[in-house]
Amino acid sequence: MPRRGYRWVQSGDFSAFLGLSFDNVAQLIIFSTLLIQVFDYPAEIVLGRMLPGTAAGVMIGDLIYTGLAFRLAKRENRDNVTAMPLGIDTVSLFGLVFGALGPVYAQTGDAELSWQVGMALMVFMGVFKLALTWPAARFQHWIPAAAMLGTIAAIGLALIAFMPMLVVFEFPLIGLIALPLLLAVLFRNVSLPGRLSPVLSIVIVTTACFYSARALGWIPLHETVTEGFDFHLAPPIPTLGFLSGIPLALDYLPLALPLALATLIGGIDNTESAAAAGDRYDTRAILWTEGLSTLVAGLVGGVIQTTPYIGHPAYKRMGGRAAYTLATALFIGLGGILGYLSWLVHALPEVVVAPILVFIGLEITAQAFGQVPRRHGPAVAACFLPVLGSMALILVDQVISGLGAKPTDLSHAALTRYHALEVFSAGFVITAMIFGSLLAHLIDGRLKAAASVLWVAAGFSFFGVIHSPLPGGAAFLPWNIQSHWPLWVAGGYSAGAIGLLLIGAVQATPLDSPKEP
């Protein structure tokens, strides 16, 4: 068979580039805005150090994925190979901002140390993902799909979709224009005359509307996220600053490592999705790349991990080949170095890009319910409970802080309920997986497996991996704290496990085999 040259540049690469690069830019805008405006981080730290390092991870990952596309095209002698897309992990963005970076800064008041903690978490997560590249595929046999997908869906709906909706209604004059228009073109793949990008066109128009309304005084003039930030070159230079953040970062590993695990499982699913679309990549190479890019990001100042994106089949339908990932790598990576990504963070209003995250959250949630057996729908829903608890705690803390008060100023009854919310939501990622796994096993009549899940929950609770009573949900050694909560929670889970085993021992007839409705 005659060898064909790889047609790595196609007209569809431009649309694919706009989609992938704008998705990453939207993540960076939300990330920077949350840290600067919600947690009052110094803009110089966020835009001058965190953002360039995070962008460097995207650049490295997409460059490698571009190379893998060339290698696959050569190996299979095909000219229509589409590169795997890689970008900033949305779930980790919200999980780490609200679960680690924000709490560390609130606790220490030290922005430099908080940044170093974020770097340390990236290094841990990168090493963790690299170490699990080979055995990762077996995780799908240990954790029910309903638990894994349900956890991602819960974060998608409660944090990724719900939180941006608050931004939409903060500026409803613009938000309620951008929201339906963006949802229309994202869900229906609307085409415009002249092959214009629908998403880019709507963002440009609604941005113009935002600035026009602000000029007319219809929108209050807020302090910009780049206030006081001096733009300058920020090359991603390796640093050992993460070493100073390791002691505090250890407390947040129960949050960070499950997020890393979720991207590994997602990477496996995305590789299978690409294979179904015709591009059979080596799973280990895909996972190794995401681990390496996350590690590199942490070593040069990044604080959010990278992951293979779900949209490979969509980019292939657009006509994308390898040029779109190469262009995205250069645009995002050089943007962090040269500073124009920081300018975009300043220029693009958050309310304009928030609907894109609403779309992502809804898609993730719908995918979870659609890909598990119908009988496991309640198990997916169970995963939402700890994540909703975390979301509620975030909002309650913001209200209390806005009033200039502290939780200890609450009445006794209110403080008791607040503390229960803290304990329930601590380690919410692992707790969500536990709840989903427990209910999936119970639905299938696997009482011994369900009891095993409760034993795991008891062990995790005893060491604060979940349900920690300490500030920020930090893990601990049980003999080093005074609280009785770990013993009570672990004892409750253990008693529940024994109860399930007793039910299994005394039931008169075996449980019915699960059937699809």
Give first-to-last CA distance, the chain, whole Å.
50
Backbone φ, ψ for residue 88 (5° rounding): -75, 135
Contact predicate 70/444, CB 8 Å: no
Distances (CA, A) of 479 to 34, 420, 474: 36, 21, 15
Q: Which residues pair with 87 in a beta bridge?
A: 307
The pLDDT assigned to 231 comes to 56
Contact predicate 462/238, CB 8 Å: no
Classify residue 240 by its DSSP letter.
S
The pLDDT assigned to 223 comes to 46
For 442-463, write each residue's pLDDT tens digit. 999 999 999 999 999 999 999 8
Hey, what amino acid is at 216?
L
Name which of 258, 241, 332 is nearest 293 in CA terms.
332
pLDDT along the chain (517 residues), means of 10: 71 79 83 86 89 94 96 92 91 84 91 96 96 75 80 82 89 93 83 76 91 87 50 75 93 84 78 81 92 96 90 76 95 88 78 82 80 91 93 87 85 92 87 93 94 95 88 76 89 96 79 55
Q: Which residues pair with 308 in a beta bridge?
A: 86
Classify residue 87 by its DSSP letter.
E
Contact predicate 335/88, CB 8 Å: no
CA angle 55/60/61 to nearest 5° reads 95
Q: What would the DSSP string read from start to end of 142-188?
A: HS-HHHHHHHHHHHIIIIIIHHHHHHHHHSHHHHHHHHHHHHHHHHH
What whole-number distance in Å separates Cα of residue 362 and Cα of residue 370? 12
The pLDDT assigned to 232 comes to 63
Whose tokens are 């009988």? That residue is 375
Whose tokens are 């962090």? That residue is 336
Cα 238 to chain center, whole Å?
Answer: 24
Distances (CA, A) of 112 to 117, 118, 122, 302, 342: 9, 10, 16, 13, 19
Which tokens go with 109? Answer: 């008041």
- 283-299 helix and 111-131 helix, angle to the nearest 10 degrees: 160
What whole-number distance in Å separates Cα of residue 231 and Cα of residue 220? 25
The pLDDT assigned to 517 comes to 52
What whole-number distance in Å separates Cα of residue 153 and Cα of residue 139? 18
Classify residue 241 by its DSSP letter.
T
Name which of 182, 311, 302 is nearest 237 in CA terms.
302
Q: Does this model's pTM top 0.85?
A: no
Hey, what amino acid is at 105?
Y
